[in-house]
Structure 1
Amino acid sequence: MTENDSRVTDIDPFPESDAGDDANDAAERKWTAATTAFERVEAVLARTTDWQSASEIADRARVSEPTARKHLTALAETGRAATTDDGNATRFRRNPDQRRLERVQRLADEHSREELERSIREMKSRIREFEDAYDATSPDELVAGLEPDDEDGWDDLSRWKTTRRNLAFAKTALSFTETRLVDSRSIRGERAENV
């Protein structure tokens, strides 16, 4: 073994380093410096789909437990957080209805009435195709007749369920658009009466 060989074996290709931890710590410091405690609790809550205690959310949001509890209670009062009491403590998670409402509002904001109506027609047509292809009136009925190895059938089942869900959102967004229109006309009428 030569002198050069010993140097090569002394090189550790994967030296232990805290560089990843340093990057995480730096990102965390930047996040806590750029946001308020409320914003951090709200951001953590938005990603919380299972029930968690105020303490667990506080750890993730980098705030004290009393601060987290205060903000979570406020978020629950406005409908953004759902709560449950397990006998020992109140647990929190994001309110799934709030996410649904936000999606409906986003669809109504980003698409015209005509676009929503066209999408609804197309989705209804797709659902009719699934019904005809499988001689079934619902995804649940299709499940009963599918063989375990029918990959195309299971893929279609997934597409059918997704289409049905998207159809419900599109219909709700269209209703929301209609409600906005009626409300705006009503408000304009009230203003005209008050002039």
Structure 2
Amino acid sequence: MNDVVVEDWIEETTPFERVYEIIRSTYDPTSASQIADRARVSPTTARKHLRSLVDTGEVTTSQDGQTTLYRRSETGIVTEHAQSLLAERTPEEIASGITELKAQIQNWRDEYGVDSPEELARELDIEDADSESGTLLREWQTTRRNLALAQATLAIAEASRTGHLTGTDTDDDSNSDSSIVV
């Protein structure tokens, strides 16, 4: 990065914000020292903030000998995607999209006589990922991932709507059920 940009970043953000910004793009296990270098904080400061993020579920850890490695958690990734999707689409639009994704997956299952892209790959013995079959496998895997994210988003929207996420829910859910069924 340009030194001026780095100086501005350091001046305009807190150490926590910098560690959080770095970890949000860290998908491979990375040491606190490496994160500290990138966030322009001390390793001690990075570890402190990373422990807080582990406690909130944003970050997961693993061990490499004596070194604790940190990376973005699956929960954090799903939550971010869900928030983004909910900002762009209504729950009804998401439910409609889920129906379309399920139909596409069912079409592939019917057409190829298998239940998953992995099963199709075993049957075809695909070695060339750039082939037409490889493209189909990647598209099926992406569609399956998008379906899971859309379903999680809808569940988060429903939990938020009913107050289950904030603890403001009531036990009177039986009187009105306007949840979206897919």
For this structure pair, what is the TM-score category when the shorter chain's length is used for normalisation? 0.7 to 0.9
1:33 matched residue in structure 2: 11
Question: 2:132, 2:14 → 1: CA distance?
Answer: 49
C-alpha contact (below 8 Å) 1:134/1:142 kept by paired residues: yes
TM-score, with length taken from structure 1:
0.75
Q: Distance in 1 between matches of 2:171 and 2:111?
A: 49
Report the residue type matching 1:182 in the other structure.
Answer: T
CA distance in structure 1 between the partners assigned to 2:118 and 2:144 by the alignment: 12
Moved more, 77-86 or 26-35: 77-86
Q: Please tell me the residue identity of whatever aligns with 2:30.
A: Q
Q: CA deviation at 1:45?
A: 1.2
Q: Choose between structure 1 and 2: higher helix proportion.
A: 1
Deviation larger for 122-131 or 144-153: 144-153
Higher radius of gyration, 1 or 2 = 1
Aligned to 1:6: none
Return 5+ residue gaps in structure 1 as ranges.
1-22, 190-195
| 1:47-126 equivalent positions in 2, closer than 5 A | 47-126=25-104
Alignment check: 8 A CA contact 1:108 1:176 kept: no
Secondary structure at 1:92's aligned position in 2?
strand
- Alpha-carbon contact 1:40-1:61 (below 8 Å) kept: yes
Shift in Å, 1:68: 1.4
TM-score w.r.t. length of structure 2:
0.79
Over the residues paired in the alignment, what is the CA RMSD in angstroms?
A: 2.4
Query: Hey, what's the Cα distance between the residues in 2 that align with 1:88 and 1:74?
Result: 20
The percent of aligned pairs where both chains have the same amino acid is 41
Q: Residue 188 of structure 1: CA displacement?
A: 10
The residue type paired with residue 70 of structure 1 is: K
Higher relative contact order (CA 8 A, sep 6+): 2
Unmatched 5+ residue regions in structure 2? 173-182
Aligned pair count?
167
Indicate how the Cα distance of structure 1 residues 141 and 44 shifts in structure 2: closer, same or farther if over 3 A, else same. same
